C-alpha cells in the first residue's frame, strides 16, 4: 500500500519537473520549480490521507488501530523522502548531464503511456462542452450502487483466514462432507451468587433445557458436556451399575431442594458436598467465592458457519436464563465473529463520517486561508462521497463482505480520492489564473495532471494488486476492492471535478466582469 501511495507522489513530482524542463528551464531550476509547484498539493493530500488513516485508531479492533498508525507514519515518511530525494537527485544527476551536454530532451509524463495524453485532453474538451451527460451517468450509477450498498454483507467467517489448500482447510471440508458441518465449543460464563436459591434452580433448569429437543437453543449439538448442573446430576442419579458415581447424601439434599426453598446455608452445603466428592471436576466448572460472586462455566458444542444461526442461539441462551442478563456471557469463535462484526460496523460507520468531516474541514480551511476560496474544499470532498457509495455498492453486488479487512477500504477511499481531486483542483486553479478560460483550463489540466494521475493510479493499483495472490481470502478481497476504489476515485477526479471547476471558473469570471462594470460606472469609463 505504501509503495503504491509513495510512487504516486514520485510521479507527480517528476511530472512537474519534466513540464518545467520542456518549457525551457534548466535542470536545477526545473527541480526547484517542480518541487515548489508540487509541495503544496502533495502536502495537502498527504495530510488528508494521514488523517483518514488515523481515524482507525478509534476502532475497537486493535489490528485496525495499528494499521492506522503504521499507514499514517508511512505516508508521512514517504512524502518527505520522495520530495527531498527526487528533487535532489534530478538536480544533481540531470544538472551534471546538462553541464556536459549529455542531457536529452525532457519527455512529459503524459506521453509515458502512448495515446493517453491526447485522449485525456480530448475528454477534457468534451467535458467542458457537454458536462451534463457525464454527470447524469455518474449520478445514476451512484444512486444504483448506493442502494445496493444498503444490503452489503457483514458476515465474518474465521475459515477465510485459513490459508487455501492448508491441512486445516482440508480437515474442515472433510468434516463438512462427513457430518454436514463442523462444531465449535461454546462456553457460557455465569457470574452470580450460587447460594441464592433462585440461581441454583436456574442452573438446574438451564441444564435440563439442553436435554429437551423443544427447548434446546438453535444450533446446539446435544446436551451440555460440562457444567455444575451436569456434575450435580451425575452424583444424584443412580443407574444401578457398580461404577456409577452416586451419593445418597447428595441425592437426599437434591430431593429437599426440589420441594422447599433453600436458604443460603443449605445451598452452600450442597456445593460443599459436590466439591468434596469430585474436587477436580468441581474446580473445572465452578469458582466458589465465599466473599464475593461465584463464577460458573458451562460448555457445549454448536454448529458453525452460520452467523445468523449463531445470533439466534445467543438469543435462545439468554432467554433460558431467568436471572439478570448481565450475569450470563456466551462466547465461541462464531460468537466472537458476531461481536467483531458489530463493533467493526459501528466503528467504521462513525470513522467514515469522521474522516469525511475532517477532510472537509481541513481542505475548506486551507483553501479559505490560502486563496480565500473555501468552496474548493467542498469540490474536493464531494466526489469522495460518491466513490464511497460506489465502492460499497460494488462490494455488495460482487458478494464481497464488509469484514475486518475490507472495512479498511473506507479510509483508503478517502485518502486516495482526496489525493486525486486535490491535484486536479490545484492544477486547474493555476491554469485558470493563467488563461482566464474555464474550458481551456479543463483541457490543459486533464492533458497534464490527468495523464499523470492515470499513471499513478496504475502503479497504486499494481501495488495493491499483489494481494490478489495472497492465500487468505480477505486479503484477496482487499486487493480487488482497492483496485476498484482506485478506478472509481480516478473517474470521479477526471469526470466530476472538471465540470465543477468549470462552473467555478465561470462564476469567478462573472464576478470579475461585475466588478469591472461597477468600477466603470464609478469612474465614468
pLDDT digits (tens, 9 = 90+) for 294-310: 999 999 988 877 777 88
Q: What is the dihedral of CA 78, 84, 86, 89, to 10 degrees?
A: -140
Q: What percentage of the chain exceeds 70 in pLDDT?
A: 90
Cβ proximity of 345 and 154 under 8 Å: yes
Q: What is the dihedral of CA 247, 251, 252, 253, to 10 degrees?
A: 110
pLDDT at 158: 64
Better pLDDT: 69 or 250: 69
Q: Which residue carries 450475569 as its cell?
A: 327
How many CA atoms lie less than 13 Å away from 113 in the CB half-sphere? Answer: 18
Q: pLDDT band for position 219 (50/70/90)? A: confident
pLDDT at 77: 92
| For residues 438-462, average pLDDT | 80
Cβ proximity of 31 and 90 under 8 Å: yes
| For residues 8-34, average pLDDT | 83
Q: Which burial class, exposed, middle or buried, applies to 114 when counting CB atoms under 10 A from its CB (0-12, 13-18, 19+)? A: exposed
Kindly tell me the number of DSSP H helices and DSSP E strands found in the chain.
19, 5
Q: pLDDT band for position 510 (50/70/90)? A: confident
Does the pLDDT at position 401 exceed 70? yes
**Hey, which residues does 331 pair with through a beta bridge?**
187
Does the pLDDT at position 117 exceed 70? no
The pTM assigned to this predicted structure is 0.71
Cβ proximity of 344 and 320 under 8 Å: no
Cα–Cα distances (Å) from 481 to 280, 297, 414, in that order, read: 52, 42, 14
Q: Which residue carries 438446574 as its cell?
A: 204
Helices (H), 279-326: 279-285, 307-320
DSSP state of 261: P
**DSSP three-state, residue 150:** coil
**DSSP three-state, residue 220:** strand
Summarize pLDDT for 176-193 with one digit per residue, the tens. Answer: 666 555 678 899 999 988
**What would you report as the CA-atom Rg of the chain, rounded to the nearest whole angstrom?**
33
Cβ proximity of 205 and 212 under 8 Å: no
DSSP state of 326: G
**Hey, which residues does 298 pair with through a beta bridge?**
188
pLDDT at 54: 86
pLDDT at 429: 86
Cβ proximity of 340 and 32 under 8 Å: no
Summarize pLDDT for 354-374 with one digit per residue, the tens. Answer: 778 888 888 888 888 877 888
Q: What is the phi-psi region of residue 372: left when phi exceeds 0, alpha when psi lies from -120 to 50, beta otherwise? A: left
pLDDT at 73: 93
Rounded Cα–Cα distance for residues 457 and 396 (Å): 23
**Hey, which residues does 287 pair with through a beta bridge?**
295
Better pLDDT: 178 or 313: 313
pLDDT at 257: 62
Per-residue buried b or exposed e for 375-399, using 16+ beta carbons within 10 Å of the residue's own CB: ebbebbbbbbbbbbbbbbbbbbeee
Cell of 191: 457470574
DSSP string, 491-511: HIIIIIHHHHHHHHHHHHHHH
DSSP string, 377-441: HHHHHHHHHHHHHHHHHHHHHHT----TTGGGHHHHHHHHHHHHHHHHHHHHHHHHHHH--HHHH
pLDDT at 297: 92
Q: How many residues make up the chain in this entry?
A: 525
How many CA atoms lie less than 13 Å away from 382 in the CB half-sphere? Answer: 15
Rounded Cα–Cα distance for residues 55 and 485 (Å): 19
Rounded Cα–Cα distance for residues 481 and 486 (Å): 9
Summarize pLDDT for 323-350 with one digit per residue, the tens. Answer: 788 888 888 877 887 777 777 666 767 7
Could you tell me the end-to-end alpha-carbon distance of the chain, in angstroms, rounded to an integer? 60
Rounded Cα–Cα distance for residues 448 and 502 (Å): 17
pLDDT at 126: 79
Q: Which domains does the chain have, with CATH numbers?
A: 2-160+337-523 (1.20.1640.10), 183-303 (no CATH)
Cβ proximity of 430 and 493 under 8 Å: no
Better pLDDT: 330 or 409: 330
Cell of 59: 476502532
Q: Other C-beta atoms within 10 Å of 364: how many?
A: 18
Q: Which residue carries 469430585 as its cell?
A: 278
- Lowest mean pLDDT, pick from 32-36, 47-51, 243-247: 243-247
Contacts for 466 with CB less than 8 Å, ≥ 6 apart: 479
Q: What is the dihedral of CA 106, 109, 111, 112, to 10 degrees?
A: 110
Amino acid at each position: 500500500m505504501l509503495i503504491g501511495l509513495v510512487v504516486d507522489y514520485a510521479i507527480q513530482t517528476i511530472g512537474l519537473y519534466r513540464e518545467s524542463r520542456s518549457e525551457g528551464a534548466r535542470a536545477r531550476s526545473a527541480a526547484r520549480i517542480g518541487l515548489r509547484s508540487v509541495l503544496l498539493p502533495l502536502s495537502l493530500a498527504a495530510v488528508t490521507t494521514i488523517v483518514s488513516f488515523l481515524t482507525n485508531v478509534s476502532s475497537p479492533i486493535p489490528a485496525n488501530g495499528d494499521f492506522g498508525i503504521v499507514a499514517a507514519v508511512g505516508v508521512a515518511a514517504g512524502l518527505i523522502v520522495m520530495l527531498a530525494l527526487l528533487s535532489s537527485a534530478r538536480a544533481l544527476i540531470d544538472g551534471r548531464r546538462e553541464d556536459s551536454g549529455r542531457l536529452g530532451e525532457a519527455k512529459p509524463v503524459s506521453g509515458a503511456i502512448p495515446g493517453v495524453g491526447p485522449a485525456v485532453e480530448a475528454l477534457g474538451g468534451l467535458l467542458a462542452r457537454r458536462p451534463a451527460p457525464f454527470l447524469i451517468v455518474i449520478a445514476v450509477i451512484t444512486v444504483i450502487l448506493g442502494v445496493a450498498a444498503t444490503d452489503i454483507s457483514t458476515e465474518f467467517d474465521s475459515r477465510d483466514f485459513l490459508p487455501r489448500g492448508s491441512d486445516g482447510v482440508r480437515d474442515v471440508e472433510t468434516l463438512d462432507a462427513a457430518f454436514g458441518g463442523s462444531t465449535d465449543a461454546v462456553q457460557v460464563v455465569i457470574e452470580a451468587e450460587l447460594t441464592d436459591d433462585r440461581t441454583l434452580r436456574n442452573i438446574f433448569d438451564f441444564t435440563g433445557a439442553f436435554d429437551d429437543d423443544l427447548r434446546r437453543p438453535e444450533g446446539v449439538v446435544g446436551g451440555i458436556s460440562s457444567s455444575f448442573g451436569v456434575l450435580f446430576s451425575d452424583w444424584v442419579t443412580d443407574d444401578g451399575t457398580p461404577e456409577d458415581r452416586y451419593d445418597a447424601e447428595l441425592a437426599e439434599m437434591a430431593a429437599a431442594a426440589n420441594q422447599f426453598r433453600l436458604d443460603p446455608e443449605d445451598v452452600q452445603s450442597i456445593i460443599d458436598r459436590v466439591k468434596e466428592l469430585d474436587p477436580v471436576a468441581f474446580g473445572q466448572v465452578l469458582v466458589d467465592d465465599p466473599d464475593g460472586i461465584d463464577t460458573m462455566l458451562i460448555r457445549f458444542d454448536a454448529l458453525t458457519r452460520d452467523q445468523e444461526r449463531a445470533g439466534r442461539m445467543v438469543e435462545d441462551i439468554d432467554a433460558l436464563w431467568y436471572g439478570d442478563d448481565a450475569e450470563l456471557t456466551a462466547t465461541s469463535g462464531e460468537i466472537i465473529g458476531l461481536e467483531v462484526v458489530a463493533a467493526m460496523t459501528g466503528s467504521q460507520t462513525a470513522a467514515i463520517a469522521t474522516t469525511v468531516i475532517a477532510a472537509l474541514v481541513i481542505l475548506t480551511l486551507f483553501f479559505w486561508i490560502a486563496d480565500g476560496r473555501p468552496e474548493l474544499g467542498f469540490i474536493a470532498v464531494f466526489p469522495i462521497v460518491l466513490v464511497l457509495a460506489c465502492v460499497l455498492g460494488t462490494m455488495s453486488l460482487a458478494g464481497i463482505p464488509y469484514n475486518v479487512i475490507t472495512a479498511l477500504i473506507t479510509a483508503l477511499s478517502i485518502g486516495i480520492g482526496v489525493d486525486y481531486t486535490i491535484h486536479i483542483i490545484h492544477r486547474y486553479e493555476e491554469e485558470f489564473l493563467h488563461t482566464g478560460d474555464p474550458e481551456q483550463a479543463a483541457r490543459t489540466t486533464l492533458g497534464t495532471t490527468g495523464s499523470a494521475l492515470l499513471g499513478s493510479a496504475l502503479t497504486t493499483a499494481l501495488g495493491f494488486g499483489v494481494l490478489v495472490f495472497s492465500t487468505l481470502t480477505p486479503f484477496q478481497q482487499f486487493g480487488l476492492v482497492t483496485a476498484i476504489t482506485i478506478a472509481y476515485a480516478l473517474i470521479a477526479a477526471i469526470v466530476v471535478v472538471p465540470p465543477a471547476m468549470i462552473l467555478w471558473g465561470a462564476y469567478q469570471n462573472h464576478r470579475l466582469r461585475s466588478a469591472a462594470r461597477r468600477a466603470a460606472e464609478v469612474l465614468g469609463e
